[in-house]
Amino acid sequence: MLDFKGKLVLALGERDGIPASSILTCAESAGGQVVYNVTQCFV
């Protein structure tokens, strides 16, 4: 299991996969600090 406590996180999301907003919510709830988040769309 990945330990997010005290870690800086770059959240790179995909609209048709997992968007950055979801990664951010999960990472911060696990104690990480999201310093950059962006959702890409590849179509």
Closest CA to 33 of 2, 1, 10: 10
Nearer to other proteins, 2 or 43 (CB): 43
Is 39 among the residues that bind other proteins (CB under 8 A)?
Answer: yes
Is 33 among the residues that bind other proteins (CB under 8 A)?
Answer: no
d(CA 38, CA 25): 13
d(CA 9, CA 29): 12
Nearer to other proteins, 6 or 41 (CB): 41
In the list 7, 12, 22, 36, the residue contacting other proteins (rule: CB under 8 A) is 22
